[in-house]
Amino acid sequence: MMNIVSTAGDLMQDFRTGYMTLASPRSMFVSQVIGTAMGCVISPCVFWLFYKAIDDIGTPHSSSPVPFALVYRNMAIIGTEGISSLPKNCLNLCYIFFAGTIIVNVIRDVVPKTWANYIPLPVAMAIPFYIGAYFVVDMSVGCLILFVWEKMDKASADAYGDSVASGLIVGDGLWTLPSTILALAGVEPPICMKFLSRSTNAKVDEFLKTSLHI
């Protein structure tokens, strides 16, 4: 039922966008049908590629941790076993952060815009909790680029900022498929960067020093 409602909501949003851009409703509907048919074929194929190319898919330390799978699993557990299945003090934390989110949003709406820009959005703060902290690095770099762009040419940044952001998102998503195909073919990258904790990094340095002496 939820999938049907979600699909209907997305379809209405697409029709609204088409209405605003003076697109033909018939062409919008036909494109939706074609896209749905393509998804029925492409989605299983993409899943098969991921399943075959990545041995530890879905695990926390995998290159594809599938964070939302854990979210939906926990939602299913709560739905079947009730609130008692939650960890200790989890519900209390939910109440606290729910109230904090409302307070932060009210403050953003009340203060002048010049000050509101420096108050973080609770939704943006919550995203790394779902998909990992590495996402924060990407967002920070993007915000820095946009900040510099606005300082240099605000009119250009306002006009093309959303388009550039959309292109980056689509490009990153499209690269996932060829990356998986390369992994399936056994192609290894020439160099790989990985951020380690201080303790782990110290162990690696000690190991390298020992290896060099040998």
Q: Does the structure show a pLDDT above 80 at 160? A: yes
Tell me the pLDDT band of 161, cut-offs 50, 70 and 90: confident
What percent of the chain lies above the pLDDT cut of 90? 6
User: Higher pLDDT residue, 94 or 178?
Assistant: 94
pTM over 0.75: no
For the segment 169-194, what is each residue's pLDDT rounded down to a tens digit? 888 777 877 877 777 777 776 766 66
For the segment 36-59, what is each residue's pLDDT rounded down to a tens digit? 889 888 888 878 877 777 777 777
Alpha-helical segments (H) within 111-197: 113-116, 122-131, 134-152, 154-184
Average pLDDT over residues 107-111: 89
The predicted pLDDT at position 15 comes to: 78
* 35 close to 97: Cβ distance less than 8 angstroms: no
Burial class (CB in 10 A: 0-12, 13-18, 19+), 54: middle
Tell me the pLDDT band of 214, cut-offs 50, 70 and 90: low
Burial class (CB in 10 A: 0-12, 13-18, 19+), 180: buried
CA distances from 61 to 69, 75, 91, 113, 179 (A): 14, 22, 27, 40, 18
Mean pLDDT of the chain: 80
Start-to-end Cα distance in the chain? 64
The predicted pLDDT at position 96 comes to: 93
The predicted pLDDT at position 102 comes to: 93
Residue ranges per structural domain of the chain: 1-63, 66-127, 132-214
Average pLDDT over residues 127-142: 76
The predicted pLDDT at position 99 comes to: 93
Average pLDDT over residues 130-139: 73
